[in-house]
Structure formats: structure tokens, C-alpha cells
Chains A and B, each alone.
Chain A
């Protein structure tokens, strides 16, 4: 029997621009791209050069640290460009897509009888391995280990997040297959963590997993919190996590033998004219979705949600793991005495802004931080949005002091950046909590 957990501490941030429950189809974008920067610590080794023809599922680049890990093309077409940044680091590998998709064929028949190593080899070659995120540190999973457990959060509680029962509609079979495959990868349990009240038929066919339920505000849908409540990560433990849409990709692959990365993403936020669900593929250029669909030009386009996502250009590419685009106005304006008399409602946890805190239902939120960075003064604030058994402010301070032992003792293995995103949101001193934590995680990863 799984656990039923109620979360009290946390915060839902209600935003304008909730998506309609309709799925739109748009013209396929001309280009797709994989961004090595989407993976923490990845140094890519290119497998293709500009002008090469690739099929969907062909390896574009591998991990320099482990050349078995392939990153494959989401579409068939021609390698159009390899964009480099500072010190020639590869930023994007762009593919000009064919109008008719052709897939590289993999032999996945009888997958259920295959050995763990054969399953791994297939996933590695097909580029599905990078969907597995390993904790501690939130890196691509180590191919040589069997994790203590695999966790999948069956719902997303972030602001404007996709309702998976809409975005994954029709994927029930693939989810079933995907979870079967996951169970072949570990000797431990596979945990499927669902919302206690928002029942969904999505996972009705899934069997063999431990089902846990969660209720409460965000971050109840974050897998980090769920692990902490079910079976916390201790020093030396290795846990793998996946998102349901990626489990569906894996299921589809083993069912068909094709790397078919079609997905439905949610595009939401106050600056979208028609916030809704859109059918597209992994790594898609977002131009065809947002062009003509924005209320104004001065917007922040975020691949992912507003708390943890990556800022991309309005003609940029969807991030590897993201099934969400958030579009909000930029906040690059001065606000006269705005700290004293806020001129418009803004989300807050502080009762000192009573109109915003207690009356406003939904916010049109922008990217202004509403204050300048300061030293830590206020205490007890992070704790209100941190439901894990972790002392958030002490952990951040330990990272700032680069005290490795204290970081370990305070539970840095249990968190990745997204788990402390709400702390960053509520911070009176406007500390970049996720950035600081990221540096700490990197430091710990280098030391271990």
C-alpha cells in the first residue's frame, strides 16, 4: 500500500491566462533543436555535422562522459545549424524537418522478455535515457546503477501547469507499457504519485507500481517533495525520477519501435491571446505557436513554468523536458513608491499586502522582482512554503558558505533547484535561491 500524504506548507500562485481545455493543432514548425544546456553538467560530443540527413531517432550527440548516452533527433530532416556560444560551447543543434517524418527502426518486439541490459541499451541508443533524472543532484541517470526506487509524479501542481489528463489523453496504453519498462530498470519499487482528489483515468491500466496520493498546494506535485514524504533520500541512495509524458514516450517506443516524440504542450499566461493546449513535438520551434498569438511584444517566454522554467526567445525552442510554455509580460518599468503603494495587484505570501493577499483571485504577473537584493534579514519565511523536512534558509546559507559537510547534513541530496523555487519566489531579500542551490549541488557533485 502506498502512502496518503497531506501537504500544508506551500503555495498555489493563481495566474491569469489559464489554458482552455482544447487541443489546437498548428502548422509544424520548420525547425527543431536539442539544447545541451537543458542537461546539467553535460558536455556534448557531436555525432553529426551540418548538412547531414537524419531520421527521427538518429543520434545527434552523445555525452562526453559516457558515450553510450545518445541524444537523438526528434524529427527526420537535415542538420541545419550547430549554434555555438561562449568558448565554442554547443548551444543548439538545429534540424530542418522533413514534411514527411521517417523513423529509424529499432527492434523492440518482445521487450517484456528482454534483459535489463538489453532494455537499457535500447533506451540509450534511442535517446530516451536522458529522460531519466537521477537524484541526488538532478543529473542524467548513471547507466551502471540500479536505483533504490523510481518515482513518477502523476500530476503537475506548478502555476499554469498542464492538466495531464488533457495533455496525455490517448496515451493510456503507452503509459502502461512505459511503467512496465521502468519496473525492469530497478530492483526497488516504482512509485506513481497521484493527486488524492483529482482522479484521472490516465493511469487506470498501469499495474505493478506503488501508488501514493498527495493533496495540498504546490509543491505537492513536485517529485522531490513526494520522495521526501515517501522514502527520503539518504546519503548514498540513488533515486530516479521521470515525468509522465516521458514515461509515455518510452512506452510508445517499446510498443512501436519508433522514437516518436509527439506531445501535447500547454501554452498559457496572461499575454497569450488563446491560452490552450497545442500538439507539437519535443524540441519544437515555438514560432508557429506564438506568432500572432501574443497580446504584445514585450513578453517573457518561458519554456516550463514561471517558477523554474528557462527563458527562451519568442522564436526559440522548447526545452527537452518541458511540456509547458508560459508567457508573461516583462516587468521592466519603474514604479513610483511601488514598495509602499503597489500600483497593481501582485501575488504574495505576505499579509502586509492585504489587497493582493486576501482579495485578488488571479494575477497578471510580470518579471519585476519588486525590490532589490538584500542581505538576509527576515526569517521563518521559506519554511512556510517548504513542506519537506529540511531547513531551507540554513541550507542556502550553508551553500553560500560553501560548507560541504553542513550542506550534506542539512539534506542537500534531497533537493534540486525546483524544490526550492517557492522559497526564491517569497524571498523578501530577493536572493536567487535556485542559482545558489545549483552552485551547491554542482560543488557537491564534483566532490562526490
Chain B
């Protein structure tokens, strides 16, 4: 440790003001504080401070995503094996194939995002914020496995610049940056993102075996609803809800396995990092709206699917656990969090049911509620103000 510290101290003047590489000051600072918690001390005020900081907070979110990531890697290989040979493939090989497919996406996401963040930090004379540690992992997890790398880079750049930095950087953004990236690709390159074709990473020109189709539950349900045929479990991949729960189905890299996502949720809640209120209210909202449709008497695949299944298929769980809980773009008041999450659940199901041309509602629902979050907070704050004013009159 002493040796490393000496090396850092030796390098420091080069990057400090007046040094040759002072234009990389923020970047150096980011790496230095990553390696060493600085030797600063408090001034006045509270002389002692809590052991938690933003680095640790963000890192815990990254850890919480690891189960979904590892499962996603395996599943990418698994789906390729299914598509090419019709067999399950062996565990190690699947994982290896998936790793080769996903790692470049992760690297591109982090490289582009952190590069831009560091540039902005330097330009503004700010320290580099740790927020992108999370965004940089969320973006790959919500991409289809066969997404071209240039698309990942482009979407990441868009998300960081337009989604975050123009608002003033970490802590100021209105929209969830990772979903902004996803949205950018969805609108800009719909053919790659809509899930109409096979959603598996396949070698170029490879032919799939017979019977391997790209139909996902969301797509099946949407076309069944349009065609006016009713709900049946056959619409789900594998004819039951269990594959969607375990996650060995086609989908974006990290969002297929509800189990892996729930492990992440447990980590987030246990560490006190993710808001259990938002997660719970999102699930409650989805369940509630699904139940309303169940009892509405209207017929149709999307209306009659058991309400519980809404929470399991598609990206619902992933969105509720990792996307909706982003503290910056979510509602910031405790009461507001309940309202915010509830409406994400409700709107997700509404979009699924009423917009058959649209494969997934959670992305739209979260972004929409991101926009409404300040308004929700406004009313919560107003109610606190009103109580205070009422006190004067009594």
C-alpha cells in the first residue's frame, strides 16, 4: 500500500494545476480517489461522518446487477445453442459464448460513457461522479444480445450527453440515463429492438434449426390480442410461466431471469441502497392494473392473462428493481415514491394491453413517470407546507 501511495504521490504534481497533464486533473482524481479514500478531514459542523459514500453506494448497485449479468451471459450462449443445434449446450460453453458476446458491449458502454463523463467533469472543473458505474452496466443489460457495438456506443453517448450532462450531470438529470439509451435505440433503430425477429446472438449467416422461433411472450400476447384470440398459456415461451421466471428465454441480456433480478433486489434492499418502497409499489401497481383487466370482463389475451404473470414476463421485474429505483430520476419524497412506483406498474400494464403494436410498456412507463416525478414531489411538499400554514390559523 505504501509503495502504491508513493507512486500516486509522485504522479500527482503532473496532473495538478500547473502540471503538464493538468487537463486530465479530474480523471486522475477519479482514479486516485478510487484507489485511496483521501486524507481530507472535516472542517467544522459535524466533525464525524458516516462511513457510506457515493462510490460504495453505486458499487453496491453494480454488485446487485451481477446475478442478472452472469445469468444473462449464460443465457446468450444457451439461446445460441438452442438456435443452432436445438440442444441445451453445456454450461461452460454457453457461458463462454455469452461472455464473448456481452463483454464487448459492456466495454463499449463503459468506455464511451466514462470518456464523456470525464471530459465533461474536466471541462466543468468538477470531480467525476460515480453515477455512470451503474448506468454503464445497466445499458448492456437492457440491450438485445445481438446489438451492434456502434449502436451501443451511439446510444450511450446520447444518454450521457442529452440524458444527463445537459441537465448538469449526475444528480440533476430528469430521465433515467440507461433507459434514455434504450429509448434512443428503440426509436432510432426499431428493427433491431422490437423483437420481431430472433433475439439471439448468432454468427453471421447461420441458419437456425427448425422450430426455433423468435416469438417472445410479449409479441405472442400482442398478436393474439390483435387477432382477438383469447389467453392461453401456450402464448408464453415453453407454454408455462416458469421459463420466464427462471429466465432461459430470449430477451435482452440481463432482463430475462426474474430469479436473478430478485437476488439483486434483495441485495439492494438489504444494503439500504435501493428503495423497497418503489419496488413494492411498482409491483403492486402492475398487479392492481392486471387484476382490474382480469375482472373487467373484456376478452383478449392481454386482458385475461393472470395479473401475476404481468410482473414476470418481459422487462417488468428488471425495470422495477433496477430502473425505477434510480434515486435521481425517481420521486424523492417518501410518500412520492409510493405514488411514483404505483403508476409505473399501472402504466406498464396499460401500455401492454392497449398498445398491441408495442412490445413492452415498462420502459415507456418509467420514462413517463420520471417526467412526472418532480410533479409528484411538488404535491407532497405542498402538503407539508399546507400543514404548516394550517397550524398558524388554528
Q: Please report A residues at the B interface, Cβ cutoff 8 Å.
A: 13, 232, 234-236, 300, 302, 306-311, 326, 328, 330-340, 342, 346-353, 356, 365-380, 383, 389-391, 393-394, 409-411, 417, 421-422, 424-430, 432-435
Contact = CB atoms under 8 A, between A and B. Distances in A.
Contacts of A432: 43, 45
B268 to A, nearest CB: 10
A411 B384 CA distance: 9
A430 B53 contact: yes
Given A335-B37, A368-B40, A375-B171, A350 B127 contact: no
A351 B37 CA distance: 20
A415 to B, nearest CB: 12
Interface stretch (B189-197, B326-334, B346-354): B326-334
B46 A383 contact: no
Contact of B51 (A307, A332, A342, A376): A342
Contacts of B332: 379-380, 393-394
Given A350-B271, A352-B272, A336 B52 contact: no
Contact of B170 (A374, A391, A433): A374
Interface stretch (B291-299, B307-315, B386-394): B386-394
Nearest to B42: A367
A378 B388 CA distance: 26
B39 interface: yes
Interface string B119-140: 0000000010111000000000
A379 B1 CA distance: 34
B57 interface: yes
A429 B170 CA distance: 12
Interface centre among A351, A353, A380 (most CB of B within 10 A): A380
Given A306-B46, A410-B384, 10 more contacts: A336-B4, A336-B35, A340-B59, A352-B52, A371-B55, A372-B53, A374-B53, A378-B327, A391-B384, A410-B388
B49 interface: yes
Contacts of A332: 39-41
B180 interface: no
Interface of B: 1, 4-5, 33-57, 59-60, 127, 129-131, 169-172, 270-273, 275, 327-328, 330, 332-334, 337, 377, 381, 384-385, 387-389, 391-392
Given A334-B39, A351-B272, A369-B49, A429 B54 contact: yes
Contacts of A377: 54, 57, 129, 131, 170-171, 327-328
A379 B39 contact: no
B41 A367 contact: yes
A336 B47 CA distance: 22
Interface centre among A375, A424, A427 (most CB of B within 10 A): A375
Nearest to A304: B47
A161 to B, nearest CB: 14
B171 A372 contact: no
Contacts of B387: 389
Given A334-B37, A375-B171, A383-B334, A425 B54 contact: no
Contact of B54 (A330, A353, A409, A428): A428
A374 B54 contact: yes
Given A336-B4, A380-B275, A425-B49, A374 B39 contact: no
B53 A371 contact: yes
A352 B56 contact: yes
A369 B48 CA distance: 7
A331 B41 contact: yes
A389 B271 CA distance: 26
- Top 8 nearest A-B pairs (CB, nearest first) are A371-B53, A375-B171, A338-B37, A352-B271, A346-B51, A350-B52, A434-B45, A348-B51
Nearest to A333: B39
Contact of A374 (B35, B41, B129): B129
A120 B385 CA distance: 37
Contacts of B5: 334, 336
19 contacts: A302-B47, A306-B46, A307-B46, A326-B47, A334-B39, A339-B37, A342-B51, A347-B48, A350-B272, A352-B56, A370-B50, A371-B56, A374-B170, A378-B57, A391-B333, A394-B377, A421-B46, A427-B49, A430-B49
Contacts of A394: 332-333, 377, 381
B197 to A, nearest CB: 38
Nearest to A353: B51
A305 to B, nearest CB: 9
A334 B330 CA distance: 35
A424 B41 contact: no
B44 to A, nearest CB: 6
Nearest to A356: B51
B170 A375 contact: yes
Interface centre among B52, B57, B60, B271 (most CB of A within 10 A): B52
B45 A433 contact: yes
B49 A351 contact: no
B280 to A, nearest CB: 14
A311 B48 CA distance: 12
Contacts of A13: 48
A311 B47 contact: yes
Contacts of A356: 51
A198 B257 CA distance: 53
Contacts of B51: 342, 346-348, 350, 353, 356, 370
A320 to B, nearest CB: 16
B47 A300 contact: yes
Contact of B171 (A307, A340, A370, A376): A376
A352 B60 contact: yes
B130 A374 contact: yes
Nearest to A344: B51
Nearest to B382: A409
B272 A338 contact: no
B171 A309 contact: no
Contacts of A409: 385, 388-389
Interface centre among A328, A335, A370, A425 (most CB of B within 10 A): A370
Nearest to B273: A352
Contacts of A351: 270-272
B381 A372 contact: no
Contact of B48 (A328, A379, A380, A428): A328
A326 B384 CA distance: 37
B45 A421 contact: yes
A425 B40 contact: no
Nearest to A390: B384
Contacts of B4: 336
Contacts of A379: 275, 327, 330, 332-333
B50 A348 contact: yes
Contacts of A333: 39
B337 to A, nearest CB: 7
Contacts of A428: 50, 52-54, 57
